[in-house]
């Protein structure tokens, strides 16, 4: 563990770090990830944008499950890993944070200017008029439309969806946009949906100006996040990957850390946050603990 922190500290202390985070960072806040030790991907077929928009039955199923799962997301609070990233940013070592998560926990921990690549689950958008409202308001409307709705809940996923059988979905009543009566959707990027081009461009700009890219809690399985690792590596920007388990970006990493983020990131912040940015240094190579 000491060698891991030494190697991380030597790189992060130079400053100019951009953090790219994934679902593995939020597991210690009680939100399971997709593919790590608490992962649920093998048991779950995600809702796609095409299915959601084309099928009223699919939308009812989604909102019934998400209505129950939202309680877990809404109760979640930042963990030591989120707070450590915020400390590193406050110390002037982290220049920006890009997250693939939709839970809003980076911002709740105090990080500033977070780019939420896939949106946020605490907001809802109307696909017809574009009206954007708070998820808490929708939660109250759904509760009023479905008094007493409850069902046994299985695993809660990072997108707030849960396991719920067809009997649990039967009779659930979704609600429409309060402004125009149009179709409501959580303000997140579904599978099969494209991340807004301006958001992607902003992230590429952050990565290209970074001294190093620190990936935390992401298996980098999907291209949405992995493309930033590829861009950094091709431009000679050191990539550090801290994740429990292998990732699809390991071949690009100058430094690889396989350890619980709730231990590694706070220890890293304790080591370097009080010092502030120093001269640039290079990483030594893969490290595990």
* pTM score: 0.89
CA distance 65 to 280: 48
Q: Percent of the chain having pLDDT more than 70?
A: 89
Whether the predicted pLDDT of 150 surpasses 90: no
Return the higher-pLDDT residue of 204 and 37: 204
Q: Please check whether residue 36 lies inside any domain of the structure.
A: no
Binding residues: 100-103, 126, 129, 177, 180, 217-219, 243-245, 261
Q: Please check whether residue 37 lies inside any domain of the structure.
A: no
CA distance 219 to 182: 36
Domain stop point among 159, 188, 217 = 188
- In this prediction, residue 152 carries a pLDDT of 66
- CATH code of the domain containing 279: 3.40.50.1220
Whether the predicted pLDDT of 159 surpasses 80: no
- CATH code of the domain containing 141: 3.30.1600
Domain stop point among 188, 218, 235 = 188
Q: Please check whether residue 212 lies inside any domain of the structure.
A: yes
- Written as one string, the DSSP assignment of 28-44 is GGT---SSSTT--GGG-
DSSP 8-state code for residue 185: E
Task: Read off the pLDDT of each residue in 141-154 and give the average, rounded to a whole number.
Answer: 85
Whether the predicted pLDDT of 18 surpasses 90: yes
Q: Verify that 112 and 230 share a domain, yes or no.
A: yes
pLDDT digits (tens, 9 = 90+) for 262-287: 999 999 999 998 776 765 444 444 43
- CA count, 13 A, side-chain hemisphere, 49: 11
Q: Please check whether residue 87 lies inside any domain of the structure.
A: yes
- In this prediction, residue 2 carries a pLDDT of 65
Whether the predicted pLDDT of 233 surpasses 60: yes
Q: Verify that 232 and 154 share a domain, yes or no.
A: no
Q: Verify that 241 and 113 share a domain, yes or no.
A: yes
Return all residues near 3 (Cβ < 8 A) that are at least 6 apart: 287, 289
What the block records as the tokens of 80 is 């030591």
According to DSSP, the residues that pair with 256 across neighbouring strands are: 241
Q: Verify that 243 and 136 share a domain, yes or no.
A: no
Q: Verify that 183 and 158 share a domain, yes or no.
A: yes
Whether the predicted pLDDT of 14 surpasses 70: yes
Q: Please check whether residue 218 lies inside any domain of the structure.
A: yes
> Of the given ranges (194-198, 257-261, 278-282), which has the lowest mean pLDDT?
278-282
Q: How far is CA 44 from CA 68, 84, 85, in A?
A: 16, 31, 30
Q: Please check whether residue 38 lies inside any domain of the structure.
A: no
pLDDT digits (tens, 9 = 90+) for 50-79: 999 999 999 999 999 999 889 889 999 999
pLDDT digits (tens, 9 = 90+) for 124-138: 999 999 999 999 999
Binding residues for Zn(2+): 126, 129, 177, 180
Q: Verify that 27 and 125 share a domain, yes or no.
A: no
Residue 181 parent element (H or E): none
Q: How many domains in the chain?
A: 2
Catalytic residue check, 82 = no
**Whether the Cβ atoms of residue 107 and residue 76 lie closer than 8 Å to each other:** no
Residue 63 parent element (H or E): helix 56-75
- In this prediction, residue 251 carries a pLDDT of 97
- In this prediction, residue 126 carries a pLDDT of 98
Q: Verify that 132 and 145 share a domain, yes or no.
A: yes
Q: Verify that 18 and 157 share a domain, yes or no.
A: no
Residue range(s) defining the domain that contains residue 168? 45-75+121-188
Domain stop point among 157, 188, 219 = 188
- In this prediction, residue 4 carries a pLDDT of 75
pLDDT band at 41 (very low <50, low <70, confident <90, very high): very low
Query: Among residues 229, 233, 219, 285, which one has the least CA distance to residue 42?
Result: 219
Q: Verify that 69 and 82 share a domain, yes or no.
A: no
DSSP 8-state code for residue 133: E
pLDDT band at 153 (very low <50, low <70, confident <90, very high): low
- In this prediction, residue 287 carries a pLDDT of 39
Q: Verify that 282 and 156 share a domain, yes or no.
A: no
Q: Verify that 169 and 131 share a domain, yes or no.
A: yes
- In this prediction, residue 110 carries a pLDDT of 98
Q: Please check whether residue 225 lies inside any domain of the structure.
A: yes
Catalytic residue among 67, 82, 106, 118: 118
Give me the helix-helix angle, 2-12 and 261-272, nearest 10°. 50
Q: Please check whether residue 39 lies inside any domain of the structure.
A: no
> Of the given ranges (15-29, 96-110, 139-153), which has the lowest mean pLDDT?
139-153
Q: Verify that 165 and 280 share a domain, yes or no.
A: no
């Amino acid at each position: 563990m000491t060698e891991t922190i030494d190697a991380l500290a030597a790189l992060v202390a130079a400053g100019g770090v951009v953090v790219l985070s994934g679902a593995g960072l939020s597991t210690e806040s009680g939100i399971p990830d997709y593919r790590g030790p608490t992962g649920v991907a093998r048991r779950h077929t995600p809702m796609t944008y095409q299915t959601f928009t084309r099928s009223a039955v699919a939308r009812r199923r989604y909102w019934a499950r998400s209505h129950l799962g939202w309680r877990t997301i809404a109760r979640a609070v930042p963990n030591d890993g989120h707070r450590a990233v915020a400390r590193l940013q406050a110390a002037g070592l982290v220049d920006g944070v890009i997250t693939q998560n939709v839970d809003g926990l980076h911002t709740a921990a105090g990080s500033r200017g977070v780019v939420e690549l896939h949106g946020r689950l605490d907001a809802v958008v109307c696909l017809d008029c574009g009206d954007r409202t708070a998820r808490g308001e929708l939660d109250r409307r759904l509760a009023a439309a479905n008094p007493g709705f409850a069902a046994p809940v299985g695993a809660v996923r990072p997108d707030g969806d849960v396991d719920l059988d067809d009997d649990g979905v039967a009779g659930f009543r979704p609600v429409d946009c309060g402004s125009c009566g149009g179709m409501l959707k959580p303000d997140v990027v579904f599978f099969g949906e494209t991340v807004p081009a301006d958001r992607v461009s902003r992230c590429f700009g952050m990565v290209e100006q970074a001294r190093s890219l620190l990936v935390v809690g992401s298996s980098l399985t999907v291209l949405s996040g992995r493309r930033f690792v590829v861009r950094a590596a091709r431009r000679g920007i050191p990539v550090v990957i801290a994740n429990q388990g292998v990732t699809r970006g390991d071949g690009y990493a100058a430094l690889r850390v396989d350890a619980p983020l709730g231990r590694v990131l706070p220890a890293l912040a304790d080591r370097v946050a009080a010092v502030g940015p120093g001269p640039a240094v290079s990483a030594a190579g893969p490290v595990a603990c």
